[in-house]
């Protein structure tokens, strides 16, 4: 509970840019509640007064209360519309900003610090958990503040007519504001936490099922995976049902307290009316006033039933936001820009965890500017790890890496990204057009520049033959393109980027002979004049570099013309 409250306070601080919307929504909510209480109490007084006037014992002014009733009805309707508009606007603005805030804290963690989270779980946090936080303002913060403010105003108003009725209503409202919601929160807490955890597991399982559908069918495991997804779905429904039942019971108890308070008010007021110490219409007014006062606290049971889910979602968001990046960017004051682009690694050692074996140990390598070197070695020798270190995706424990004599740790993130281009075995293409995928490398590139990059990559003729040309959609992870075409799109990106250091990680792996030849031809053009590290075990690819070095063993110096 304490952790949950701390997370709620952090969420409130994130709402500060929208405090005008937040305060406006709460103010309109108070107007709605107070207008409804006044409307019901005045209507009870008016109807009772009109009935007594019809019987003859007293007269009543018709026009003023009738006009006030109509005014309150219009005010309630208008305020309700405005409250819905303002509170939802505040919530949607908050959720949009929260996604940006979360991504800004997620991005520095990648990829090293995100190894402990599954992709489906991260997706669930970005989507489902952040969506769950719409409860915070709409169903928790605003209702609680409205209940406190309106309860004070309602009880103060009652005290002007009868102190005993006001005291009775105050006790009943305290039960409905404090005791019942806290009971609901206690019984719904485990269901709320379970909702968030099960929803995350379900999203992860659904994502894994979609991505691995082919393998599941081939291995005959689809039915088992399907049963697991269905079981998670049933557990999610059960947790939702429990949460709703607890909230509904809490709301029923709140309504029961409200009705008992109304009957208590009648017991207190009827003797006064019978003795002639209070006008008859005030009996109906006070009774309905007490009953209507519980509109202020009616949303609280459901609010506190949702507290556990909201707190769990917030904790999962802040868990990632508070994570420490594995690689820290240098302060802007000390960041340096290399004047040239030679690359030197001196006695570099790296392991993924303190208890793990060294993935790379005491490795040294020197590349002059414009030189190309091939890296070979057994699987697990550290070739891809070395490329990750040069990109600052991971941190090394000892040694030194420099570009142009500048320590890699003193080069800013922006400068490093402009300095290095990568063509990897697994080329990620977004589910967008070829144009959009190319513009990632150079957002302001013209169509002529895009076509030129495709030409250098040996892909222009093939793209031109597509019906939509550059606007052809590549599909999810580039499934509408062949492996060779996807690889050459990555090469075209590298041409657009025109970075001075080029990292090639098994760029021809998995390609047929014809695609490999096309990719190698494009890479030959791309490597010209660039400091290049090529990881490959294929002789045809290694023929493009000046020398070959082994990783994980004694260095092999093999010069090539």
Report the predicted TM-score, pTM, of the whole model to 2 decimal places: 0.74
DSSP 323: P
CA–CA dist 282, 50 (Å, integer) = 12
pLDDT band at 58 (very low <50, low <70, confident <90, very high): low
CA–CA dist 242, 235 (Å, integer) = 11
CA–CA dist 188, 242 (Å, integer) = 7
pLDDT band at 54 (very low <50, low <70, confident <90, very high): confident
Quote the pLDDT of residue 271: 92
Nearest to 94, CA basis, from 27, 10, 198, 195: 10
SS (H, E, C) 146-159: HHHHHHHHHHHHHH
Percent of the chain at pLDDT exceeding 90: 28
- The tally of CA atoms less than 13 A away on the side-chain side of residue 361 is 9
Highest mean pLDDT among 183-187, 447-451, 548-552: 447-451
CA–CA dist 131, 118 (Å, integer) = 19
Instruction: Dump pLDDT digits (tens) for 186-220.
Output: 888 777 777 878 888 888 888 788 878 888 888 88
Q: Name residues whose C-beta falls within 8 Å of residue 179's C-beta, 6 or more positions apart in sequence.
A: none
Q: Which CATH number fits domain 2-321: 3.50.30.50, 3.10.20.30, 1.10.1040.10, 1.20.1560.10?
A: 1.20.1560.10
CA–CA dist 30, 143 (Å, integer) = 9
- The pLDDT of 263-268, averaged and rounded, is 94
Which phi and psi angles does 362 have, rounded to 5°? 50, 45
Residue 523, helix vs strand vs coil: helix
CA angle 377, 111, 552 (to 5 degrees): 15
Nearest to 168, CA basis, from 260, 252, 256: 260
Instruction: Dump pLDDT digits (tens) for 238-248.
Output: 888 888 888 89
Residue 448 has which token pair?
Answer: 């002529």
Q: Parallel, antiparallel, or unpaired for β 547-550 and 372-376? A: parallel
Quote the pLDDT of residue 289: 94
The answer to whether residue 358 scores a pLDDT higher than 50 is yes
Residue 196, helix vs strand vs coil: helix
- The pLDDT of 350-376, averaged and rounded, is 88
Residue 451 has which token pair?
Answer: 């076509």
The answer to whether residue 235 scores a pLDDT higher than 80 is yes
Quote the pLDDT of residue 343: 93
CA–CA dist 67, 70 (Å, integer) = 5
Instruction: Dump pLDDT digits (tens) for 398-424.
Output: 999 999 989 988 888 888 888 998 888
The answer to whether residue 554 scores a pLDDT higher than 70 is no
Q: Look at the block and give the residue holding tokens 């309504």.
A: 255
- Domain(s) labelled CATH 1.20.1560.10 in the chain stretch across 2-321
CB 28 within 8 A of CB 83: yes
CA–CA dist 103, 150 (Å, integer) = 38
Cβ-in-10-Å burial (0-12, 13-18, 19+) of 55 comes to exposed
CA–CA dist 302, 248 (Å, integer) = 7
Residue 510 has which token pair?
Answer: 């998995």
Crossing angle (nearest 10°) for helices 483-497 and 513-527? 10
DSSP 336: B
- Domain(s) labelled CATH 3.40.50.300 in the chain stretch across 343-559
Measured over the CA atoms of residue 307, residue 311, residue 317 and residue 321, the dihedral's sign is positive
CA–CA dist 507, 30 (Å, integer) = 64
Identify the helix (H) or strand (E) that includes residue 533.
Answer: strand 531-535
Complete DSSP assignment for 364-414 = EEEE-TT-EEEEE--TTSSHHHHHHHHTTSS--SEEEEEETTEEGGGB-HH
Instruction: Please state, rounded to an integer, the average pLDDT across all residues of the chain.
Output: 86
Percent of the chain at pLDDT exceeding 70: 96
Quote the pLDDT of residue 1: 57
CB 133 within 8 A of CB 310: yes
DSSP 473: B
CA–CA dist 219, 535 (Å, integer) = 32
- The tally of CA atoms less than 13 A away on the side-chain side of residue 244 is 6
pLDDT band at 555 (very low <50, low <70, confident <90, very high): very low
Instruction: Dump pLDDT digits (tens) for 4-43.
Output: 678 888 888 888 888 899 999 999 999 999 999 999 999 9
Quote the pLDDT of residue 371: 92
Which phi and psi angles does 550 have, rounded to 5°? -90, 140
Q: Name residues whose C-beta falls within 8 Å of residue 28's C-beta, 6 or more positions apart in sequence.
A: 79, 82, 83, 86, 87
The answer to whether residue 558 scores a pLDDT higher than 50 is no
Residue 442, helix vs strand vs coil: coil
The answer to whether residue 560 scores a pLDDT higher than 80 is no
- Residue 111: cis peptide before it, omega within 30 degrees of 0: yes
pLDDT band at 146 (very low <50, low <70, confident <90, very high): very high
CATH of domain 343-559: 3.40.50.300
Nearest to 523, CA basis, from 502, 538, 537: 502
380 torsion bin: left (phi>0), alpha (psi -120 to 50), beta (else): left
Quote the pLDDT of residue 195: 80
Quote the pLDDT of residue 537: 84
Question: Cα 146 to chain center, whole Å?
Answer: 28
Identify the helix (H) or strand (E) that includes residue 88.
Answer: helix 63-106
The side-by-side arrangement of strands in the sheet containing 420-424 is 420-424, 501-505, 531-535, 372-376, 547-550, 558-559
């Amino acid at each position: 509970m304490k952790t949950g409250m701390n997370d709620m306070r952090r969420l409130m601080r994130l709402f500060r840019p929208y405090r005008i919307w937040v305060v406006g929504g709460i103010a309109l909510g108070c107007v709605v509640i107070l207008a409804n209480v006044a409307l019901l109490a005045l209507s009870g007084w008016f109807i009772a007064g009109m009935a007594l006037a019809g019987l003859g014992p007293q007269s009543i002014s018709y026009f003023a209360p009738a006009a006030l009733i109509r005014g309150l009805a219009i005010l309630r309707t208008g305020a309700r519309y405005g409250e819905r508009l303002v509170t939802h606007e505040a919530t949607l603005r908050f959720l949009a900003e929260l996604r940006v805030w979360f991504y800004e804290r997620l991005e520095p963690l990648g990829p090293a610090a995100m190894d402990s989270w599954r992709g489906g779980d991260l997706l669930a946090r970005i989507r489902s958990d952040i969506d769950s936080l719409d409860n915070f303002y709409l169903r928790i913060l605003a209702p609680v503040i409205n209940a406190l403010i309106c309860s004070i105003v309602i009880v103060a108003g009652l005290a002007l007519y009868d102190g005993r009725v006001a005291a009775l209503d105050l006790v009943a409202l305290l039960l409905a504001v404090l005791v019942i919601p806290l009971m609901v929160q206690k019984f719904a807490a485990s269901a709320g936490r379970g909702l968030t955890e099960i929803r995350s597991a379900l999203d992860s399982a659904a994502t894994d099922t979609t991505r691995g559908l082919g393998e599941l069918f081939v291995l005959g495991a689809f039915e088992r995976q399907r049963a697991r997804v269905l079981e998670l779905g049933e557990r999610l429904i059960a947790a939702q049902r429990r949460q709703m039942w607890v909230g509904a019971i809490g709301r029923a108890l709140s309504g029961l307290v409200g009705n008992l308070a109304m009957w208590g008010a009648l017991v207190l007021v009827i003797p006064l009316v019978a003795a002639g110490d209070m006008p008859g219409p005030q009996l109906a007014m006070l009774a309905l006033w007490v009953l209507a006062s519980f509109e202020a606290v009616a949303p609280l049971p459901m609010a506190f039933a949702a507290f556990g889910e909201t707190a769990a979602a917030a904790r999962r968001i802040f868990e990632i936001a508070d994570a420490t990046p594995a690689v820290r960017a240098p302060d802007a004051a000390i960041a340096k820009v290399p004047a040239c682009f030679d690359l030197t690694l001196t006695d570099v050692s790296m392991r993924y965890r303190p208890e793990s074996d060294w993935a790379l140990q005491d490795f040294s390598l020197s590349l002059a500017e414009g030189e190309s070197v091939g890296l070979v070695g057994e699987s697990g020798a550290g070739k891809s790890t070395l490329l990750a270190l040069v990109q600052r995706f991971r941190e090394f424990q000892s040694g030194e890496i420099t570009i142009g004599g500048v320590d890699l740790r003193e080069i800013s993130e922006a400068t490093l990204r402009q300095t290095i281009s990568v063509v990897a075995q697994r080329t990620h293409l977004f589910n967008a057009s070829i144009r959009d995928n190319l513009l990632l490398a150079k957002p302001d590139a013209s169509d002529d520049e895009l076509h030129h990059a495709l030409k250098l990559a040996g892909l222009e003729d093939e793209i031109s033959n597509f019906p939509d040309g550059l606007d052809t959609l590549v599909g999810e992870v580039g499934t509408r393109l062949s492996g060779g075409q996807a690889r050459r799109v990555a090469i075209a990106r590298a041409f657009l980027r025109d970075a001075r250091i080029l990292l090639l990680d098994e760029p021809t792996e998995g390609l047929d002979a014809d695609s490999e030849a096309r990719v190698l031809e494009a890479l030959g053009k791309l490597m010209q004049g660039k400091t290049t590290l090529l990881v490959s075990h294929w002789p045809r690819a290694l023929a493009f570099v000046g020398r070959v070095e082994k990783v994980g063993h004694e260095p092999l110096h093999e010069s090539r013309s």
